[in-house]
Amino acid sequence: MNLISPFQFHEQNGPIYITGPCSAETREQVLATAKALKQQNTCSYFRAGIWKPRTRPNSFEGVGVEGLKWLQEVKSTYKIPVACEVAMPSHVEATLEHGIDLLWIGARTTASPFAMQEIANALKGENIPVLVKNPINAELSLWLGGIERLEKAGINQIGAIHRGFSGIEHGIYRNLPMWHVPMELKRLNPELPVICDPSHITGQRDLIQKVSQYAMDLNFDGLMIETHPTPEDALSDASQQVTPTNLKEIINNLIIKNESSHCKTYEHQLEFLRAKIDRIDDELIELLKSRSDVSKQIGVLKKDENVTIFQQSRMDELMKLRLERAKSQGLSEELIEKIFTHIHSDSVNIQAKVFEKETK
């Protein structure tokens, strides 16, 4: 994928902050938010939802085209570039007519290839940055598919926004972060700017600082944080919006790390420790190879005795013992459970192959 870096669509050196209310509600609310953000210098792009994709009907569905005029006013009065969500070709048309500077695609839209294709068609030949939020379900290929549809339409300023994934088990978050998904997106597309949206991940303002810091530690390119002058009165997402003053505190508290350092001592120590990790990983692979050889021998034994490949009691016992051992070593039980689930399922495959071979 041939994408440009985020800093070509924004001159600021450092994280991009896309801030502003979840929804544009009134002209006064929009302008008051923009004024505060401008004064405290916490806004690279001013965001406001104009058409709101609500999960259930009869909730506030946005002010529509009238709100685009308020965004134009933000742009001309405060000299801040403005951004809003588009979910269908008519939205694209209206935003382009009103000189909106950046568009994003919402999570519910990314989940629909038809909708993504229609938006991509409407954007053909336009020179505007577009950020694609992850789909509500944790399917990386849908996210990639949305990005590719825009790319094919000739959009060359594309980025992604990580806003977490809907799940049955939410834990403390509104949407599970599942950080490995955006990390994999970044691994596959090292040049793709990825912004984190801690507002929609957490669903509660008290957790935004922590999640923002985590995103910065993972080298995300910026943050999208919903900001409202009086969050409790907001017509959408009231519990996750912060005041401009809170936002300033959150941004001031962030510790932005460097991707690398040229300090010689650091470089030597890192090289030494990474060499150690490489040796350990080699040993892990050799051990896995030995384990798979033993598993194959067990397969032959079972086949000869006419015994099934899988025994639930053995699996339960194995997992129990490994978890106890992990605990005594201070390792994460969750990690060990995941690893041994994979190792065990690979063992089953190895033995299934032994069974197949011998019956032919």
Binding interface with Mn ion (CB under 5 A):
22, 237
Closest residue to bound Mn ion by CB: 22
Handedness of CA 193, 214, 23, 148 (dihedral sign): positive
Could you report how far apart the first and last alpha carbons of the chain are, in Å? 46
Binding partner of residue 107 among ligand PEP, Mn ion, none, CB under 5 to 8 Å per kind? ligand PEP
CB nearer to Mn ion: give 39 or 204: 204
CB nearer to ligand PEP: give 133 or 149: 133
161 in helix, strand or coil?
strand
User: What number of other Cβ atoms are within 10 A of residue 240's Cβ?
Assistant: 25
Q: By the criterion CB under 6 A, which residues form the site for ligand PEP?
A: 22, 49, 53, 85, 106-107, 133, 163, 200
Binding partner of residue 75 among ligand PEP, Mn ion, none, CB under 5 to 8 Å per kind? none
Q: Least CB distance from residue 298 to ligand PEP, whole Å?
A: 48
DSSP β-bridge partners for residue 68: none
Q: Least CB distance from residue 44 to ligand PEP, whole Å?
A: 16
Backbone φ, ψ for residue 85 (5° rounding): -85, 140
- Supply 140's token pair: 């990386």
Q: Least CB distance from residue 29 to ligand PEP, whole Å?
A: 15
Closest residue to bound ligand PEP by CB: 106
Q: Least CB distance from residue 39 to ligand PEP, whole Å?
A: 24
Binding partner of residue 221 among ligand PEP, Mn ion, none, CB under 5 to 8 Å per kind? none
Q: Least CB distance from residue 71 to Mn ion, whole Å?
A: 16
32 in helix, strand or coil?
helix
- Supply 338's token pair: 């995941």
Q: Least CB distance from residue 217 to ligand PEP, whole Å?
A: 22
47: part of which helix (H) or strand (E)?
A: strand 45-47
Tokens 């984190």 map to which residue? 196
Contact 80, 45 (CB under 8 A): yes
Please state, in angstroms and rounded to a whole number, the distance separating the CA atoms of residues 21 and 32. Answer: 11
Strands 158-162, 82-86: pairing is unpaired
Please state, in angstroms and rounded to a whole number, the distance separating the CA atoms of residues 29 and 34. Answer: 9
Q: Least CB distance from residue 97 to Mn ion, whole Å?
A: 24
Query: Which residues have C-beta within 8 Å of that of residue 198, sequence separation ≥ 6?
Result: 207, 208, 211, 212, 215, 223, 225
Binding partner of residue 133 among ligand PEP, Mn ion, none, CB under 5 to 8 Å per kind? ligand PEP
CB nearer to Mn ion: give 100 or 120: 100
CB nearer to ligand PEP: give 49 or 146: 49
Burial of 74 (0-12, 13-18, 19+ CB in 10 A): buried
CB nearer to Mn ion: give 22 or 350: 22
Binding partner of residue 62 among Mn ion, ligand PEP, none, CB under 5 to 8 Å per kind? none
CB nearer to ligand PEP: give 103 or 336: 103
CB nearer to ligand PEP: give 81 or 106: 106
CB nearer to ligand PEP: give 61 or 126: 61
Q: Least CB distance from residue 241 to ligand PEP, whole Å?
A: 10
Query: Which residues have C-beta within 8 Å of that of residue 180, sequence separation ≥ 6?
Result: none
84: part of which helix (H) or strand (E)?
A: strand 82-86
